Structure formats: C-alpha cells, structure tokens
A and B are shown apart, each in its own frame.
Chain A
Amino acid sequence: MIPSFPLGSFSGAIEFIFTPQNSNVTGGNKVGGFDKSIELVLKHLEVTVVALALALIIALPIGLYLGHRGKGELLAVGIGNAGRAVPELAVIALVAALIGVGFKTVAPALALLGIAPILTNAYVGIRQVDPATVDAARGMGMSELKIIRKVELPMAIPTVMGGVRSAAIVILATATIAPLAGVETLGDFIINRNVYGENGLLAGAILVALLALTIEGLLALLQRRLTSDGLKLKTV
C-alpha cells in the first residue's frame, strides 16, 4: 500500500509541475501540469491572504490598543501561549464537522490561527516602547491615536511584523490541509495521493515549501521598508 520513493523522485516531481502526467485512477485523463499548478498556487495564496487579512483586522487593533493602555497583559500574552498549543488539524476537522466545508468556513478558521501571534506581538511591541518617549509625544500635544500611529507603532514595527510573519507561516502551512475541508489548495496534490501519484505528492511539497519561503522573504522585505531609517541605524 505504501509506495517507496527512490531518490530520483525529484525529477519526476519537477516534471509533474510543468507537464501533465498519466494517472491510474482518472481513466486516461492526465493530471498535474503547469496550469493546474498555477491554479492551486493561486487558490493557496487566495485563502492565505484572505485569512491573514481577517486576522490582522481583528488582532492588530486589539493588540495595539491593549499595549497602548498597558492593560490586559494576561489576555494578550495568554492568547499567544494558548494559541501555540492548538492543533491545526483539529481546527480544520472541527470547523468542517460543526460549521461546514468550503472557502467561507476555512478562511475564518485559518484566520483564527493567525490571531494569537499578531495580537501578542503587537501588545509586546508597543509595551517595549520607552514610556519617556510616549510622555514626550504627549507633552508635544499629540492625541492618543496619533501617539500610537506616529510614535509607538513605528518603534514597534520589528516586533509587530514578527507576529505578522508567524501568522502568515502558520496560515499558509495549515492551508495545506484545507482540502480536508473542501478547499482545493496545493495540499490537494499531497492529500489526493491516489489521483496525483507520487510525483504529485512531491510536487505539492516542493511548491508549498517554495511558496512559504517566498512569502516569508517578501514579508521580511516589507518589514525593512516599514522600519524607519533611524531605527535601522540603531540595530546595526
């Protein structure tokens, strides 16, 4: 039942990504190929981006506000710790069982996984800003909202973005098992092994890994752009 994988499998997997291959279960129809790969990459990206945006909209304002007020440390840090203990597979399985399958239930479920790191890091980042700096801004007549936007957030960017990057990775990784809840992501190549074969399995793994590294790289770049030049000098 369990297939064996010779070391040469990688060339077969690369071929699978670019040109359709024969499958033994689809009755002569070819599977895989460049168009299918692109389709699944886009679907994977779509569900990841939507979930990350949802998580940001919910978690970022709460984290920034709690950090600014210096309140709710137990909540903000506790959510972060508890979030790490939640098994992703159970979240997907439970959402599919209790609410239903499809994009509309899977995207919010994935967002749930991203909330914890974003909220905790936003809180911690803002709390780490020197209170004297905040007082100086207040003394200059800045409103509380302006203090968050112009003083605290820019100084907290490295920590805040650290949370966003963790969230992006966990959402993208969990999107790989989204086919279990009826959303066809790159995980389809991996999970429907009987359809796509061994080449598809490896091809899916390669594409997911490349996608994750690309997103992580882009977010690291974004973090550099968002960090003010003054702060960059300090860390060097």
Chain B
Amino acid sequence: MSSPLPIAAAEVGGDFFRKRDVGDLCQAPPPKVFCFDWARENIDRYGTPTVQHLEIVVISVLIGFVVAFALALLAHRTRWLQPPLLATTGVLYTIPSIAFFFLLLPLTGFGRDTAIIVLAAYTLQIIFRNTMLGLANVPAAVKDAARGMGFTSRQILWRIELPLAVPEIIAGLRVAVVSTIAIATLVVFINAGGLGTEMYGEGNLTFPTTVIISAAIVILMALAFDGLLLLGQRLTTPWRRARSA
C-alpha cells in the first residue's frame, strides 16, 4: 500500500525545484509550521519566481483570450461551428496539465513555450463559452432597434452586441485568470520556473515555511487580478451601475 519515502523530490526536483539553504534558523525541534525568522531574511528570493509566474500567466491568458475571442466571433456568425468547437476546447480542458506538458515534450521540449501553450489551451473553453453566451444573451429587440437605426451587421457586433456581452466575457476571463495563476505552479515540472519552484524539493517536507509563502503569493496574485478585472468590468459597463443605483 505505502510506497517508499517520496524520493521523488530528488528525482524530478533535482533540476527544476530551487535549492534552499535553511541555515540555523528554526532547525531546533520541535518543528515549526511557519518560521518567521527565515521568512524575514529570505523574502527576496521570491522576487524572481513571482515575476516568472506573472509573465507566464499574463502571456498565456492573452494568447488564450485572443484565440478564444476570435473563435467565439466566428462561431457567433457560423452557428454550426459551435458544437465541434465546444467539444474540442472541452477535451483540451479535460487533459490534466502535467500530462499535457509531457505530451507536448516531443514537439516543443522543456521550457516556457510548452508551459504557455498548455496554459493558454486551458483558458480557451471558459472564455469561448462565456463570450458566446454573452453574445447570445443580447435581446433580439435591441439588435432590431439598431438595425432600424441603420446599423450594419459589423456595427451591431462591435457597438451593440459586444459591449452588452462584456459582463459575461469578463466573468469568463476572471475564472480563466484565477485558475491559470493556480495551475501555473505546476509549470515547474516542465522547467518553466514560477512559484512552483519554491513548493517542493530538498527538505521542504520538513520545512513548510517556503510552501506557505509561495502559496500565499499565488493566492494574493489571484485575488489582485480578480479585483482588477471586476473593476474593469464596472468601468466598461457604466449603464449597469446606473440601473442598480
């Protein structure tokens, strides 16, 4: 039932997880859950992984958004494309990220490119679905009114339908960004850095401090992006506030 001790740390992490020197701090038993002294002295080391993490997330979501948005516009015009596109993005979303990384290995190798392709692929489903949903929810009467005022189809799309779909689009984007920030901890397995590099590896099984710090940075980053997007939604849909006020 139980396997040997998790030697895996040394096996996979030898290369990719960051080495850490605990020194004398908090080494005396009993073991502490969180070592403030070490955290104070070593907080600097989290700068680089945080920046790497941010870069990977932002690039992945941007690529995912552009692709999913374009696909949604296409499927909005060409209805029969919707089921196959939903099914395809659904399959991509179902494949566990670690498996996905290594399935791409023969094509794109270790490193950031593979990580970004996988993370971007994960965002497609939710952004595609929500954009389509938002466009479909625009009342027909509004579109008729616009047509009556002489709007062309293109004008209706960009000036009526898309602005009215902003709440759904941003709702999808929020889910995509928050989950991508969490999943990006796993890109350490494909040697793409990020905060995952601080979550496992040498000695962390007996020293949870670094796991807690890096997890806290991940969660704060998710909260910050979520808040920013919510703010963006409020700014781009002023009529919603007017109605509720």
Asked whether A and B interact, the reply is yes
A residues contacting B by CB (< 8 A) are 1-2, 4-10, 81, 84-90, 93-94, 96-98, 101-103, 169, 172-173, 176-177, 179-184, 187-188, 190-195, 201-202, 204-206, 208-209, 212-213, 216
Closest CB in chain A relative to B67 CB, distance in Å: 21
Choice from A87, A181, A182, A209 contacting B196 with Cβ under 8 Å: A87
Q: Which of B37-45, B75-83, B179-187 contacts A (4 or more CB under 8 A)?
A: B179-187
A64 CA to B7 CA in the complex, in Å?
A: 42
- Given contacts A88-B183, A98-B208, list 13 more A-B pairs with CB under 8 A: A86-B215, A87-B196, A97-B208, A101-B2, A101-B6, A101-B205, A103-B2, A173-B99, A180-B200, A182-B6, A202-B105, A208-B96, A212-B94
B59 within 8 A of A: no
B226 within 8 A of A: yes
**With a CB–CB cut-off of 8 A, which chain A residues contact B214?**
87, 90
A187 CA to B191 CA in the complex, in Å?
A: 17
Interface CB pairs A-B, < 8 A, 21 = A2-B110, A4-B109, A5-B109, A9-B106, A85-B178, A85-B219, A87-B196, A87-B218, A88-B186, A94-B215, A169-B96, A173-B99, A176-B99, A180-B8, A180-B200, A183-B3, A191-B11, A192-B11, A205-B98, A208-B99, A209-B100
The winner among B91, B98, B107, B109 for most chain A CB atoms within 10 A is B98
Choice from B3, B97, B175, B206 contacting A182 with Cβ under 8 Å: B3
**For chains A and B in complex, what number of residue pairs have CB atoms within 8 angstroms?**
169
A96 touches B102 (CB 8 A): no
A4 CA to B11 CA in the complex, in Å?
A: 17
B70 within 8 A of A: no
B211 touches A94 (CB 8 A): yes
Closest CB in chain A relative to B197 CB, distance in Å: 10
| B residues 155-208 in Cβ contact with A at 8 Å | 175, 178-179, 181-183, 185-186, 188-189, 191, 195-196, 199-200, 204-208
A85 CA to B218 CA in the complex, in Å?
A: 8
A211 CA to B164 CA in the complex, in Å?
A: 40
A190 touches B102 (CB 8 A): yes
Closest CB in chain A relative to B88 CB, distance in Å: 13
**With a CB–CB cut-off of 8 A, which chain A residues contact B212?**
90, 94
A7 CA to B186 CA in the complex, in Å?
A: 24
Known contacts A87-B218, A93-B211: does B11 contact A10 (CB below 8 Å)?
Answer: no
A1 CA to B191 CA in the complex, in Å?
A: 12
B186 touches A179 (CB 8 A): no
Give the interface size bracket for B toward A.
35 or more
Choice from B8, B91, B103, B185 contacting A90 with Cβ under 8 Å: B185
B204 touches A93 (CB 8 A): yes
Q: When each residue 206-227 of chain B gets 1 if its CB lies under 8 Å from chain A and 0 otherwise, what string results?
A: 1110011011001100110010
Choice from B9, B91, B94, B175 contacting A180 with Cβ under 8 Å: B9
B15 within 8 A of A: yes
Choice from B7, B8, B99, B189 contacting A209 with Cβ under 8 Å: B99
B51 within 8 A of A: no
B201 nearest CB neighbor, chain A only: A93
Closest CB in chain A relative to B143 CB, distance in Å: 24
A206 CA to B121 CA in the complex, in Å?
A: 17
Known contacts A209-B99, A212-B95: does B179 contact A96 (CB below 8 Å)?
Answer: no
A2 CA to B102 CA in the complex, in Å?
A: 13
A217 CA to B2 CA in the complex, in Å?
A: 30
**With a CB–CB cut-off of 8 A, which chain A residues contact B94?**
169, 212-213, 216
B228 within 8 A of A: no
B6 touches A86 (CB 8 A): no
**With a CB–CB cut-off of 8 A, which chain B residues contact A172?**
96
Known contacts A103-B1, A202-B105: does B196 contact A180 (CB below 8 Å)?
Answer: no
**With a CB–CB cut-off of 8 A, which chain B residues contact A179?**
3, 6, 8
B211 touches A212 (CB 8 A): no
